[in-house]
Amino acid sequence: MTTLKKEEEIIKWFSVSSDSDEEEEPTREDKPKKMIESNREKRALRDRTKIKKPERVIINLRGIKGQVTAIQETPFNPTWVNISLTTIKDLEVRLRYATKVASYRIHELPPKHVKNDEVTVNPCLTTKKLFNPLNIDEKTIPPPGLGTQDQYAVGDLSGKLQDRKEGSYHNNILPGSATLNGIYWDTYLPLSGIHSIVHRSLILYK
């Protein structure tokens, strides 16, 4: 379990103001100015729609290590997810992990910060429930990997990505396992906007 933290991103905003709602016919002297303003508007639109930096989760907790990276070129493109997780110990432990893991889900909130002198609480219990902004009925969804991605909750990574790996350089230690390990694409995993997964939690169920 860990928190998806968004890396710092600087976006330049441009605005063009007009003193009148009625646009006059540009003169020869006005044409260069109009061209500059038009270029600024185009740059503003381009900068607002670009998501340049990937979101990355570094995991080294409770015997599991690795990272999960998500990148989306623009809000209109699918998100590419690279999942590379394994156990720290020997082959026997890795096999046990592959058989025990049930699903990967994104929850609504990041884990609550706990001070050193506070009673230890399972941080997963402070993240609320599955991130499901579209209110998909979980009782009606298909088994993982058998439906279309719009049939699952935004945070249901296993449902949307199971058995849909695009990359081939990751090795599955146990074929048929519920583990996610590789490169996947997801058209319902936004990194911006009101349904963004940034600043939420990645939870591994067993």
Considering only CA atoms, which of 107, 105, 69 is closest in space to residue 201? 107
Q: pLDDT, tens digit, for every residue of 127-181? A: 999 999 999 998 999 999 899 999 999 999 999 998 887 655 555 667 667 788 8
Which domain does 147 fall in, by range?
8-14+51-205
- Tell me, yes or no, whether 150 lies in a domain: yes
**CA atoms of 61 and 182, how far apart (whole Å):** 20
Which residue, among 198, 161, 170, has the nearest Cα to 80 in the 3D structure? Answer: 161
Residue 38 maps to a domain:
no
CATH number for the domain that contains residue 127: 2.60.40
How many other β-carbons are positioned within 10 Å of the β-carbon of residue 68? Answer: 20
How far is it, in rounded angstroms, from Cα 136 to Cα 134? 6
Task: Give the global pTM.
Answer: 0.68
Residue 88 included in any domain:
yes
**Domain tally, the chain:** 1
Give 24-43 pLDDT, tens digit per residue.
555 555 555 555 566 666 66
- Indicate whether 20 belongs to any domain: no
